[in-house]
Chains A and B, each alone.
Chain A
């Protein structure tokens, strides 16, 4: 059953159209990674789905209901959990307090959440201000889970963290996905994204230019889409003639 359906979505930053006619859909239990270069529109797409950025056109349906005009907090109440880039914890509160603030009834209780995130289990009573970047990120994800969302949106959880910390976070995310949470995540690191998501969509200049199952896309295909190398077909410069380019599929969710 379709949990999230995005149809022909546009989003702008002033003069700049960051998201252009994006369509995608997520079934319950699906996991989709959005990859793409800086400025491709990944985070804006995520934020628009979350209600943190206005849609300029198109539709967002969640659980069959059109949610375009709902403010972010109403979307949270409907079951859309968001881990924004930058974490945004209550720094003066403890880990436990940060988690309890977000709690809504459901399977994810504080004990179960802490079990999935050993990185912060031992720091339950520490104030967020005393946590490392990786621990803060773990709290941010754990806090989103405490609301028992049916859809979890994750924006660049590994940004600025040491690889070993990212390994820990991804182990925890694997547990979250195994528990059946539907996940849409933005990730720069393709291998990590492929490691936990069933599907990958690559964005280029506001559009989804390649989408497929994680096991079926090659690194070469993603590279072509990521840099738009296939777009050089017919370009004016003989020096810049394309190599063996893989033609881009248009997004077909």
Chain B
């Protein structure tokens, strides 16, 4: 089973083909160079984790990929198409779904209504098709039985599941996750990770920024470490997390 309406993914493509390419992304905020010539290529069907200490530029990178921010230099390609000139809504329609660090559901609406809005506004669906997509997104995140609950009555894990369901309802081929595991207990983190593992197994391409490294390592096949706006390590997760440069970036250099 695959997310409805999504473009082709690893299941029917050459595995090495890049779904997402970011080329030479630069971003400044005033005098601060937040990202410095960051180039990343994400093969279709892969799960890539992005780690880095506070202030490394992770969320800025995600914002540039999602179209919430524009780079000063560089471009973003989705399935070979230059999407640099598109904003977040345009990229969403082309298949880039994202979750936010702080979920902000429509609190006066039910869970189902929240997801329906995402299917309609982000996924461009109407009527029965939007409802079907919303139900599917709720099923994939284990939220179906809470469909009629008001969003403001949900606990933290269910809010995160709802955030995931809203991103899925837009019909993404690429899912960008922004610190979705933050603040959960360990069993809750496991439950959330299971959903993400299943989504990945269904062929979704995932780029996941996360401070909860052990959660990330359960899904990611590859880790990229950012520090000071640059990529300082990129490779097999366990190797990256034991790379002295990565450890120094988090803990300070060994004296």
Contacts and interface: CB of A to CB of B under 8 A. Distances in A.
Interface in B169-203: 179, 182-186, 189, 197
A223 B185 contact: no
Contacts of B221: 239
Interface of B is mostly: loop
B211 A39 contact: yes
A78 interface: no
A236 B214 CA distance: 12
Contacts of A192: 252, 255
A105 interface: no
Contacts of A59: none
A20 B185 CA distance: 9
Interface in B217-232: 217-221
A240 B250 contact: no
Nearest to B103: A15
A191 to B, nearest CB: 4
Given A15-B156, A222-B251, A228 B218 contact: no
Interface residues on A, range: 35 or more
Interface of A is mostly: mixed
Nearest to B247: A223
Contact of B214 (A20, A222, A231): A231
A242 B237 CA distance: 10
B86 to A, nearest CB: 31
Contacts of B238: 229, 240-243
A219 B54 contact: no
Nearest to A192: B252
A240 B237 contact: yes
A108 B213 CA distance: 43
A236 B218 contact: yes
Contacts of B247: 219, 223
Interface of A: 13, 15-18, 20, 35, 37-39, 188-192, 194-195, 205, 219, 222-223, 226-229, 231-232, 235-237, 239-243
Instruction: Pick the 9 closest A-B CB pairs, nearest first.
Output: A189-B252, A228-B214, A16-B183, A190-B251, A191-B255, A15-B156, A227-B213, A231-B214, A240-B217
